[in-house]
Structure 1
Amino acid sequence: MNFVAIDFETANNAQSSACALGLVKVESGVIVERREWLIKPTPFEMGFYQNKVHKIELMDLVEKPTFDEIWDELKPYLENQVVIAHNASFDFGVLNSVCLHYNIKPIKFTKMCSIALSRMAWHNERGYGLSTLVKSKLDNYSFNHHDALADAEACAQLVLKVLNVLSLSSIQEIQYYKSSRLQIKRSSREKTVKKVFEGIINEGLNNPFRKKEVVFTGTLEYFVRKEAEALVKRIGGFPAQFISSRTKYLVVGQYDVNRTKSSKIQKAEQLALEGYNVQIIGEKEFIEKMSLQN
């Protein structure tokens, strides 16, 4: 499979502040080219956190080209290509912002995220951060995390591993695989929702969420948030958007355990420490409690 892996580093909180870009080109499953650019960011300032992460000093960027000055060199690597990044929403967000800032005309390319691809190959990992996956999935591979080129190459190596694990060799095969899994997951989800609804219809008065305030956080696997809230309402519970002293259940969807806990989880934990009767449960436990009467 042919693709390009990229990684941006930013100088400050502005998405347009790209200060480094790493790019790795893969052809027929082999890395054939590596490119790296240091970029004079806009706005021209270095944030404390960003510097702490990637160690790039503002003085090292004074004489570097701005993004619009490298665009003609970069464009052929991206246009009409499959472009992959780890946590793609960040990198493509930076690309979009910096192009808007310099009035660069959009180009066509296929965007993919190596986190999403990794979730297809490896289920229920404790974390899907780049360093976590590289350590657990790539034997004897080490890299300088948050160096743009090193991260781009690690992303490329991880994607090649995913393709090997899943026996996929083209973008079309990936899209078909994703579509097939989505249909299976949707079918499972629909069966679960139907089961829960039928249980409520049969013996809703015994449901433990009845007359209780319930809050949801994170991405739910089996429900759209509104569906879950509708279930709570249907049995006489009270769905709420925010944690308060009245909250009895916080239902937590999927989230990366290596990332910072959501504000709702932190608030619920604090209330529990203060003696309030708030329970933090996962979505599967929510389903089991909803179906307790079956």
Structure 2
Amino acid sequence: MDFIALDFETATHEKNSACELGICIVENGQIKETKSWLIKPPSFPYFNYHNVAVHGITPEDVQYAPTFADVWYEIESLIYGNLIIAHNAAFDANVLRGCLEHYGFFKPSMNYLCSIGIAKKAWKDLKSYGLKSLAEHHQIKFNHHRADADAEVCAKISLLSFERLMITNNEEVNSVFGKRFKIL
């Protein structure tokens, strides 16, 4: 299994307001590396207090951080050609799309899956498929709503799901999950 688990935290309700990005690189079914970037969003210095209450990232934390445009080429080189998995993938795909649009970057086609759907296929009887609930179910401790921690837990939940579903490689992901969505 090779994939990149990805997670964004946002400063506002705007889809281009990424203030943190975390990725977890999985190669041969093992977590290779987890990275994160604080990002100065276009709304700086405005952050919605509801968003801050969720993730704890403040304008002061990103005051000297790079913009999404400054880090995109590094991120793109890490994720290009890989399957992307995110928990509540529609949200993260919208944020990525919004950031790319805001800065006028080409939007590459990327295959992505939602780890909620993967977990629902693996465990049909859970009461909740939220990231925190799934982590608790699997006794995984993490700093919820920080992008690197969320990306790594997403990767761990996905790997456990694939193991339970007896999926051992990316070709089997295609056959089991069929339709994969594209970021256009």
Counterpart position of 1:110: 111
Counterpart position of 2:58: 57
**Aligned CA distance change for structure 1 residues 108 and 80 (closer, same or farther; 3 Å):** farther
Residues matched between the structures, number: 177
After TM superposition, the score normalised by the length of structure 2 is 0.93
Deviation at 1:80?
1.0
Q: Whose RCO is larger (CA < 8 A, sep 6+)?
A: 2
Counterpart position of 1:39: 39
Counterpart position of 2:29: 29
Counterpart position of 1:206: none
Contact kept? 1:114, 1:159, Cα under 8 Å: yes
Counterpart position of 2:134: 133
SS at match of 1:68: helix
Distance 2:67 2:176 in 1: 40
Percent of paired sites with the same residue: 38
Larger Rg: 1
Deviation at 1:102?
0.2
Distance 1:126 1:31 in 2: 27
Equivalences for residues 1-294 of structure 1 within 5 A: 1-44=1-44, 45-136=46-137, 138-139=138-139, 141-179=140-178
Q: What's the Cα RMSD here?
A: 1.0
Deviation at 1:99?
0.3
Distance 1:113 1:77 in 2: 19
User: Which sections of structure 1, spanning at least 5 residues, go unmatched?
Assistant: 180-294
Distance 1:160 1:43 in 2: 36
Distance 1:171 1:132 in 2: 26
Q: Which amino acid aligns with 1:160?
A: L
SS at match of 2:7: strand
Moved over 3 A (4+): none
SS at match of 1:123: coil
Distance 1:94 1:123 in 2: 29
SS at match of 2:129: coil
SS at match of 1:41: coil
SS at match of 2:19: strand
Distance 1:178 1:13 in 2: 30
Deviation at 1:173?
1.0
